[in-house]
């Protein structure tokens, strides 16, 4: 159960980040976040959204798994492991956004 939970949590985080990324672009009326601004944007959004993201994952896991939910303790431990290193999380976000923007710009 733990591996499937981990994959589901990862998928939920990716979904959450993409939706917040799109919302940011719409709010700022831009097509991409310039590389020179990326670190500042990630720092700002990560700090503002971290707790909301954790709650989103917990709530979504309960809704998706219903009777198969492994329990809050297991979910909380996975979330704690994922968010243990904020700088690593921010770097992963930066890499994902850069890749996403590069792929989207090249396909337009």
pLDDT at 49 over 80: yes
Interval 74-100: pLDDT, tens: 889 988 988 899 999 899 889 988 988
Question: What's the average model confidence in pLDDT over 18-45?
Answer: 92
The C-alpha atoms of residue 48 and residue 45 are separated, in whole angstroms, by: 5
Do residues 78 and 6 touch, judged by C-beta distance below 8 A?
Answer: yes
Residue 37 belongs to domain spanning: 2-107
What pLDDT, on the 0 to 100 scale, is given for residue 29?
96
Question: Percentages helix, strand, coil for the chain, rounded to the nearest 5?
Answer: 85, 0, 15
What pLDDT, on the 0 to 100 scale, is given for residue 106?
66
Confidence class for position 57, pLDDT limits 50, 70, 90:
very high
Percentage of the residues of the chain whose pLDDT score is greater than 70: 95
The C-alpha atoms of residue 13 and residue 78 are separated, in whole angstroms, by: 12
Helices 2-28 and 35-65, interaxial angle, to 10°? 130
Give, for 29, the enclosing helix (H) or strand (E): none
Domain count, the chain: 1
Helix, coil or strand: residue 36: helix
């Amino acid at each position: 159960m733990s591996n499937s939970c981990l994959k589901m949590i990862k998928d939920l985080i990716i979904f959450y980040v993409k939706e917040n990324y799109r919302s940011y672009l719409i709010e700022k009326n831009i097509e991409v976040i310039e590389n020179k601004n990326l670190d500042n944007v990630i720092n700002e959004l990560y700090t503002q959204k971290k707790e909301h993201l954790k709650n989103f994952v917990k709530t979504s896991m309960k809704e998706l798994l219903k009777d198969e939910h492994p329990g809050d303790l297991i979910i909380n431990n996975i979330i704690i492991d994922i968010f243990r290193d904020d700088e690593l999380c921010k770097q992963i976000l930066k890499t994902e956004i850069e890749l996403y923007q590069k792929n989207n710009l090249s396909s337009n």
